[in-house]
Amino acid sequence: MDVQGAGLDLDLGAIGKGLAVEKAAALFLDWEIEDFLVNAGGSTVYGCGQKPWPVAVGGGFDFFKPGKVYLKNRALSGSGHEVKGEHIFDPREKRQQSRHLAAWVSHPSAPWSDALSTAFMVMDLEEIEAFVRNHPELWALVLTRDKKSFQFGHVDCYEPGL
């Protein structure tokens, strides 16, 4: 979306896919389909039902073995620049610059997981830790530029890669 005359672009990519996933999930529930996994290209998924859905997390890097998150009535979203390159804009720095290689967030709401995985790309680890501490429904995995991984919060079933 362009704001004419202001020279601004508003990109809803940080929540758009999550919103589409949540709308699809609501449609399945309206149709009384109770066990399903909505996958929007791998970067945002939502698992619903009695049994948790296994979803890979942390893939795409030769230094980090992917793990699994088991989603039960919650979403998982990932952001990074291994596919699109550097593309995340930090409004505080007023430039395209992310602090990390990748971030994944699990939350009961797909738009929230989508938005927060993008936001966590520009937040430092202390900011992420404080945010997750104040929002116990969150879980996050962050891969830093120096190839370290950090996990924040709790998700019922996370299996790290071996």
Closest CA to 76 of 96, 59, 94, 99: 59
- Taken in order of first residue, the domains within the chain and their CATH numbers are 2-159 (3.10.520.10)
Confidence class of residue 162 from pLDDT cuts 50, 70 and 90? low
What is the distance between the alpha carbons of residues 119 and 158, in angstroms, rounded to a whole number?
22
Taking the chain, what is the end-to-end CA distance rounded to the nearest angstrom?
A: 43
Higher pLDDT: 20 or 14? It is: 20
pLDDT tens profile 61-115: 666 777 788 899 999 998 876 655 555 665 666 555 667 888 999 999 999 999 9
